[in-house]
Amino acid sequence: FVAESMNGTVTDSTGRFRLDEVHPGAKRLYVSRVGYANEAVDFDPTPGRTQVFTVRLAPEVLETSPVTVSAERDEAWYERLDRFKRLFVGASGFAEKCRLVNPEVLRFEEKWWGTFKAQAEKPVVIENRALGYRLTYFLKEFEKSGSVVRWDGEPLFDPLTPQDSSQAARWRQNRREAYRGSLRHFLRALLDDRLKEEQFELYRLPRASAFRHTSRADRMPTSRDHILEPSPDDSTYHLDVRDRLEVVYRGEPESELYLEWADHSRRAPRDHQTSQIELNEHPIHIDPYGEIVEPYGATLYRYFAFTTRMSKRLPREYEPPE
C-alpha cells in the first residue's frame, strides 16, 4: 500500500501486485506479510509511467510466550494501555469515538527514569467513528521521554460505510474540522503561498525565548520565501529555519480539551490557536500533500502537538471542500 493513503492491494499467489491511480509526489510503498519483516520503498511517481519494484521480505522470528503475555495483562498493563491511547490516539473529542480494535498486540516497557515505550507484534487497528475510517497502523517505534512523544510507522486507511446520510454528512463535517488548522493545512498553505488567505500567521521565535513564556516582542514575522524552496527534482520542498517557528491560526478557537490536555492555568480558550515547530534536521522535506517526509524531522509544540494524533489523522487523498 501507499503509506498514509487509502490506496492498497494484496498480491496474487505468485507475490505480484499492481497499484493504480498513484498521484504525483514523493511516496512510500509499504509491503507487509505475516511472519516477515516489513519493507518500505520510497519512490516518486510520474504521470503516464509504470514503475516496477522487486521487494524481498526477510523472515522474522517473533519471540512470544503465552505465559509472559498472560502475566503482562495485569492492572499495570491496562494502565499503560490507557496511557498509550491518550498519547497515540489523542485527547480530543474525536479520540473518544476511536476504538482500538486489537490492543492485545501491544507490549509496553516503562523505566524508572520516565521513558515509556510501546511495541506491536502486528499492525495496530483503530476504528475512528468520528471521521469514518478504519486505520491500520504498522508501528515501528513509539517512545515518550520527558515531555517529548515520538513514533514512527505507516498507516493505511479504509473508509467505513455510513449508516445513513446523516452520519455521512457528520463525517464530512468532522473531516473538515480535523483538517482546518492542522499541521497539514498549514504546510499546504505554505506550499501554495496562501498563508494569509487560509488565516495563518508565521513568526520566527529565537531559541532563547522558546524555553520561556513568549510575548509578541519575542516574535519576528517571517514569510514563505525565507524558509522554503523547491527541491532540485521538484518532487518535494525544502523547509529550513534555525529558529523555532510559531504558527498562529485565526480560523478556529482553542478547544477546552486543549487547555485540559496542556494542564493550562487559563480557564477560557483563546479565539485563535498557537503552535510551534522546531526542526531536528536541516532541511526537512515537505511533499505536495503537506506531509513531512522525515519521521523525526521536526518536533511539534502546543496546539499542533495536541491535534497531530491518530484521532485526527486524514489520508493523503483527503481534499477539503471549497
Residues 6+ apart with CB under 8 A from 26: 42, 43, 44, 235, 236, 285, 287, 288, 293
**How high is the pLDDT of residue 69?**
40
Residue 169 is assigned to a structural domain of this protein = no
Residue 321 is assigned to a structural domain of this protein = no
Q: How many CA atoms lie less than 13 Å away from 128 in the CB half-sphere?
A: 32
Can you tell me the distance from the alpha carbon of 253 to that of 259, in angstroms, rounded to the nearest whole number? 12
Q: Which of 129, 143, 119 is nearest to 97 (CA)?
A: 129
Examine the domain organization and report whether 38 and 151 are in the same domain. Answer: no
Per-residue pLDDT tens over the stretch 195-214: 999 999 999 998 655 555 55
Does the pLDDT of residue 78 top 80, yes or no?
A: yes
Examine the domain organization and report whether 306 and 189 are in the same domain. Answer: yes
Residue 224 is assigned to a structural domain of this protein = yes
46-60, 75-89, 284-298, 305-319, range with the lowest pLDDT:
46-60
Examine the domain organization and report whether 90 and 35 are in the same domain. Answer: no
Examine the domain organization and report whether 45 and 151 are in the same domain. Answer: no
User: What proportion of the chain, given as a percentage, has pLDDT over 90?
Assistant: 59
**Which residue range is the domain that position 218 belongs to?**
179-312
Examine the domain organization and report whether 293 and 187 are in the same domain. Answer: yes
Examine the domain organization and report whether 46 and 97 are in the same domain. Answer: no
Model confidence pTM above 0.85: no
19, 42, 60 — which closes off a domain? 60
Per-residue pLDDT tens over the stretch 209-241: 555 555 566 789 999 999 999 887 767 899 999
Residue 291 is assigned to a structural domain of this protein = yes
Examine the domain organization and report whether 285 and 250 are in the same domain. Answer: yes
User: CB burial class (10 A; 0-12, 13-18, 19+) of residue 220?
Assistant: exposed
Per-residue pLDDT tens over the stretch 238-258: 999 999 999 999 999 999 999
55-59, 141-145, 175-179, range with the lowest pLDDT:
55-59
Residue 228 is assigned to a structural domain of this protein = yes
Examine the domain organization and report whether 239 and 305 are in the same domain. Answer: yes
Whole-angstrom Cα Rg for the chain = 21
Residue 319 is assigned to a structural domain of this protein = no
Residues 6+ apart with CB under 8 A from 235: 24, 25, 26, 44, 287, 288
Residue 15 is assigned to a structural domain of this protein = yes
**How high is the pLDDT of residue 52?**
72
Q: Is 230 helix (H, G, I), strand (E, B) or coil?
A: strand
Alpha helices by DSSP H, 16-130: 66-72, 75-84
Per the structure, the count of domains in the chain is 3
Length of the chain, in residues: 322
Examine the domain organization and report whether 18 and 95 are in the same domain. Answer: no
